Structure 1
Amino acid sequence: MRVCKTDIFCHTAAMSSANVRRGTGLETVYATVRGQIIDGTLGPGERLTEPALAERLNVSRTPVREALRLLLAEGLVHRQLSGGLRVAPLRREDLDRIFDIRARLEGLLARDACLRMTPEVRSHLDILLDRMDRAKGDESEILRLGREFHATVAEAADNPWCSQLLHEIRGHVDRYKAWATSDPGRPAQAAVEHRAIFDALVGRDPEAVDRIMQDHVVSSAVAARRALPPDVQS
């Protein structure tokens, strides 16, 4: 499937989810369609039209049009040369590149958090890890706690530039990460990796925590790649 170069994510990053006005119909439609792209309800290459989505979501076409415009800017939707819109394809090469960027950004955030670690942050991370241990077998809860763990590290890092860059690719990360979570044993392994990150953080070892965080992200990418359908392009 060919797409217009003007729809490539990096050319339109300014049109991000930050432009969604909270508490509006647009916010609801955007979040719903985006979530369905990420979880695969709307599959790669699936055609998207304003009338069909408006009917499906029981809303007018105006918020649908604006939501699709934002998703185009985010790169989760592509415009074909014919003018039609389709869900962006999954590609193994994209997965590798996106997670390479994510690993570097998350490693930097972990390094900065290590240098700014406070007793309050340490205590909160410790509580999250304890909850992960008690949630064994509940993969969705382990994943939720993992997201909170990463968010806490990012907040502690106090590096808004790095956090913003990570935010810009979050939709793509989450889309491929959804496949990683389907890999048997991945949530439990991720919990072990979070413990190693915590140990390096409280040990005040920025070099180690950078490396361990990057290894953790790479492990997620490997799991996602392993779980992708065989027909996904390289």
Structure 2
Amino acid sequence: MKVVPVEHRSAAEHVRSQLIELIESGHFAVDDRLPSEADLAQSFGVSRSVIREALHSLNALGLTKSYAGKGTFVAATRVRSHLLIGRYLPTQLNEVRRYLEVPAARLAAERRTQQDIDSLAALVEEFDRIDDPTERIKIDARFHIGIAEATGNPLFTRLVEDLRAVLQDQALAVSASPGRATQARAEHRAIFTAIKDGDPELADLAMRRHLTAVVTTSESLGSDS
């Protein structure tokens, strides 16, 4: 098994990302047992606690199942979104986002400063460069929080920050979906352009289209399970 040793404080996220790649590429097939925590820790060059955290994430993603005394086994080769979000369905999350982030995009287009424009532009460029899904969702979160900040209302910022914590697993599933990265880049750029141009109507439309694409992808990920 070829892995890259991890030297980063977000080690569990890097381990999770590499294990997802190994599962999705077919290195580990459904019903295969993953190496032990000790073997994985040695391969990745991290502690067993980091491995446990990464395996917990894989279980939450529906890719693996762990059994006491037996180990962790591959349960699926694709992330299934309805397993990710606990008691929140993708449609429920999208409903809240529409009432929060669409108005925020409109206000951002009306109130944005040059500093806001520069910050969002940098995030759009950074998002375009990143291929790793776990890194993309961090930039995605910063982009949406940046839009909230551009409203000038700190409550929008606080609410979007809190919502992003709930969206973490759904965002990873959507981000890892084939072809989604290209779509998201175009959607982010459309939202940014509308905000930069000071067009609240277009910002509203662009954000609605983005959120619709997110929930459509979430539902398609769960439809085969």
Scaled to the shorter chain, the TM-score interval is: 0.5 to 0.7
Map Cα deviations across residues 173-227 of structure 1 (whole Å, 9 max, x no partner).
Answer: 12332224x36xx72684266325642672345xx6455313213224546777x
Q: What is the CA–CA distance in structure 2 between the aligned matches of 1:233 and 1:171, rounded to whole Å? A: 18
After TM superposition, give the deviation of residue 86 of structure 1 in Å.
Answer: 4.6
After TM superposition, give the deviation of residue 172 of structure 1 in Å.
Answer: 3.1
- Over 3 Å counting, the alpha-carbon distance change for 1:161 and 1:75 in structure 2 is farther
Map Cα deviations across residues 80-104 of structure 1 (whole Å, 9 max, x no partner).
Answer: 4556435674336568943762574
Match 2:211 to one of 217, 230, 233 = 217
Identical aligned residues as a percent: 22
- Over 3 Å counting, the alpha-carbon distance change for 1:61 and 1:81 in structure 2 is closer
The reply on whether 1:194 has 2:189 as its aligned counterpart is yes
Q: What is the CA–CA distance in structure 2 between the aligned matches of 1:106 and 1:36, rounded to whole Å? A: 33
SS of the residue aligned with 1:233? coil
Name the aligned partner's letter for residue 61 of structure 2: L
User: 1:91 maps to what in 2?
Assistant: 80
Map Cα deviations across residues 113-165 of structure 1 (whole Å, 9 max, x no partner).
Answer: 54353322134445766x59xx7xx785xx96x83643522443543233222
User: 1:17 maps to what in 2?
Assistant: none
SS of the residue aligned with 1:85? strand
After TM superposition, give the deviation of residue 54 of structure 1 in Å.
Answer: 0.9
- Over 3 Å counting, the alpha-carbon distance change for 1:225 and 1:165 in structure 2 is closer
Q: What is the CA–CA distance in structure 1 between the aligned matches of 2:46 and 2:81, rounded to whole Å? A: 35
What is the alpha-carbon root mean square deviation over aligned residues?
4.7
- Over 3 Å counting, the alpha-carbon distance change for 1:101 and 1:87 in structure 2 is farther
- Bigger relative contact order, structure 1 or 2 (CA pairs below 8 A, ≥6 apart): 1
- Over 3 Å counting, the alpha-carbon distance change for 1:154 and 1:94 in structure 2 is farther
Match 2:103 to one of 111, 118, 122 = 111
Match 2:51 to one of 64, 73, 83 = 64
- Over 3 Å counting, the alpha-carbon distance change for 1:66 and 1:81 in structure 2 is closer
Match 2:147 to one of 153, 156, 169 = 153
The reply on whether 1:178 has 2:184 as its aligned counterpart is no
Name the aligned partner's letter for residue 217 of structure 1: L
SS of the residue aligned with 2:46? coil
Map Cα deviations across residues 25-75 of structure 1 (whole Å, 9 max, x no partner).
Answer: 7934312223235x5334496644312311221234244335545x37x92
Note if contact 1:103-1:217 (Cα within 8 Å) is conserved in structure 2: no
Match 1:75 to one of 55, 60, 85 = 60
Match 1:163 to one of 161, 164, 170 = 161
| Divergent runs of 4+, >6 A | none
Note if contact 1:50-1:61 (Cα within 8 Å) is conserved in structure 2: yes
Number of aligned positions between the proteins? 194
User: 1:20 maps to what in 2?
Assistant: none
Unaligned runs of 5+ in 2: 1-5
Match 1:32 to one of 14, 17, 25 = 14
Q: What is the CA–CA distance in structure 2 between the aligned matches of 1:62 and 1:175, rounded to whole Å? A: 23
TM-score (norm 1): 0.55
The reply on whether 1:101 has 2:86 as its aligned counterpart is no
- Over 3 Å counting, the alpha-carbon distance change for 1:56 and 1:198 in structure 2 is same
Note if contact 2:65-2:72 (Cα within 8 Å) is conserved in structure 1: yes
Q: What is the CA–CA distance in structure 1 between the aligned matches of 2:41 and 2:189, rounded to whole Å? A: 41
